Amino acid sequence: MGYKEEITKAMTMLGKDERTIFLGQSILYPGHVMYGTLSGVPDSKKIEMPVAEDMQMGISIGLALKGYIPISIYPRMDFLILAMNQLVNHLDKIEEMSEGQFKPKVIIRTMVGSKEPMNPGVQHCQDHTLGIRELVPNIHVIKILYPVDVMPVYEAVLEIDKSMVVIEMGDLYD
């Protein structure tokens, strides 16, 4: 199977877990390539968000504190930058700030935007993986480079008791 098919299979697997809930822009309505990967996720598990990335991350943290496992989708890594306040100053630090009382788990799904067949410009295809790793030492950050790694990564993400940023590669979508 190709990269996008493996991502779709992984999202369907995540959608079967009763604790998961998906949120982001264009997850109920078409608008970006990640939309199609959610075809196996029931619409009842999706929360369509406005363009308000920081708010989306805050809502994801709140859902995690209530026992859900939010899959918070940012279709471009460039958009995730707008959620850094919540990611760096809250999600990454809550366990430490609460002396271990709270351990929210959020799965942040993002993508290095594709440059083919049409380059969207530098503000839509940057790779900030190294910077994000430096900013969130308590959150796992992983980039998926091969179709064969997709399912093992997302299976591990579901089992690990920590938040994780999963970075997909837009140029690898079929």
Q: Do 30 and 77 form a contact (C-beta atoms < 8 A)?
A: no
Write down the mean pLDDT value for the chain.
94
Mean pLDDT over residues 64-90, rounded? 95
160-173 pLDDT, tens digit each? 999 999 999 999 98
Provide the CATH number for the domain around residue 145.
3.40.50.970
Of all residues in the chain, what percent carry a pLDDT higher than 90? 87
104-149 pLDDT, tens digit each? 999 999 999 776 766 666 767 688 999 999 999 999 999 999 999 9
Q: Do 105 and 77 form a contact (C-beta atoms < 8 A)?
A: no
From 13, 133, 156, select the one nearest 77 (Cα to Cα): 133
pLDDT at residue 55 greater than cutoff 80: yes
- pLDDT computed for residue 123 by the predictor: 67
Q: Is the pTM of this model over 0.85?
A: yes
Q: How confident is the model at residue 31 (pLDDT cuts 50, 70, 90)?
A: confident
Host domain of residue 129: 3-172
CA distances (Å), origin 157, targets 23, 98, 138, 139? 17, 23, 14, 11
Q: Which long-range contacts (CB under 8 A, 24 or more apart) does 153-156 make?
A: 153/10, 154/10, 154/11, 154/13, 154/14, 155/10, 155/13
- pLDDT computed for residue 2 by the predictor: 95
Q: Do 20 and 69 form a contact (C-beta atoms < 8 A)?
A: yes
Report the domain count for the chain: 1
